[in-house]
Amino acid sequence: MNPKIKKILKIVLPILLGVFLIWYSLSKVSFSELLVYFKKADYFWIVLGMFFGLLSHLSRAYRWRFQLEPMGYHIKLPNSIMAVFSAYLINYTVPRAGEVARASILTTYEGVPFEKGFGTIVSERVADLIAMSVIILVTLFLQFDFISSFLIESFHPKVIFTGVAALVLLFLFFLFYVKKSTSKIAVKIKTFFLGLTEGVLSVFNMNKKWPFVFHTLFIWAMYVLMFYVTTFSVSELDGIPFGAVLIGFISASFSIAATNGGIGSYPIAVYAAFTIFNIPEDPSIAFGWIVWTSQTLLLMMLGGISLLFLPVYNNKDQ
């Protein structure tokens, strides 16, 4: 495929998907109905959720310094914070462009070589992937009976067995193919997993590995808390099972990768997860929009301030 066309598609397709999902969510719950949910929401819980989200982002900025210190770079905390918020804002325009911008900010204002700054962001993503995997495993453990009975009720046991067997065989074939093949795709996959392993091991070689682990756990605990406390803002979700909160959180987290900042996809992902627990679709979609809107407003506001204040702060600091 032509590189220019590929680049355009990477930008255009998530936007189109986001627009379609916005239309789909509004076909389920009209805009006027959504406004009613926003008007009668308890904003104490929404603001508290925003506060927990803010704590997670500040912790991420603080954790980043642990990765840079072993390379001899002691960056200023305000620059780290503003780089993180700027990256979040930029990700709403072009997917993954925020990570590039974040590393570039360090190069501009702290003199950290771009490849080294970007490398720490990649290893940071590895830590986040592991944290998310732990949350998924905990959820599966806590909700094993519910999930297994849901699958049995929804699908015939033979279908489940055949599906699991097919996935295992497909996974084994995939491993064999990657190990033996020298194709470009196989090499990229091997490189990715080698980088993944290297990223995991680098954490244990870090001088401040335990503070790094603590902040990683803290970041994701704040994410879950942010999602959980915001459920109290919608009265129709009173008494929602914590298992539904965890599955909704996981589903919503993955949706952020589908479109720019999760626009359109976030409320649909929440709705899809809550449906499993027979939670009505109107409050589910409305809640998804409330969480997404509140966190997006927080990131846009702080991201905009950061982009404007970065040159001012660093000019004054010189």
**Domain annotation covers residue 296:** yes
**Domain annotation covers residue 14:** no
**Which amino acid belongs to residue 216?**
T
Note down pLDDT in tens along the chain; length 318 residues: 556 666 555 666 666 776 777 777 777 788 889 999 999 999 999 999 999 999 999 999 999 998 888 778 889 999 999 999 999 998 888 777 888 889 899 999 988 888 888 888 888 888 888 889 888 888 888 776 666 565 555 555 565 556 667 777 776 776 666 666 777 777 777 666 665 565 556 566 677 788 898 999 999 999 999 999 999 999 999 889 888 899 999 999 988 877 778 888 899 999 988 988 889 899 999 999 999 999 999 999 999 999 999 999 988 655
Domain count along the chain:
1
**Domain annotation covers residue 31:** no
**Domain annotation covers residue 276:** yes
**Domain annotation covers residue 1:** no
Helices (H), the chain: 3-28, 31-40, 43-68, 77-91, 97-110, 114-142, 144-154, 157-180, 184-204, 209-230, 242-255, 265-275, 281-317
**Domain annotation covers residue 185:** no
Expressed as residue numbers, the domain containing 221 is: 41-156+206-317
**Domain annotation covers residue 53:** yes
Alpha-carbon span 219 to 217, nearest angstrom: 6
**Domain annotation covers residue 197:** no
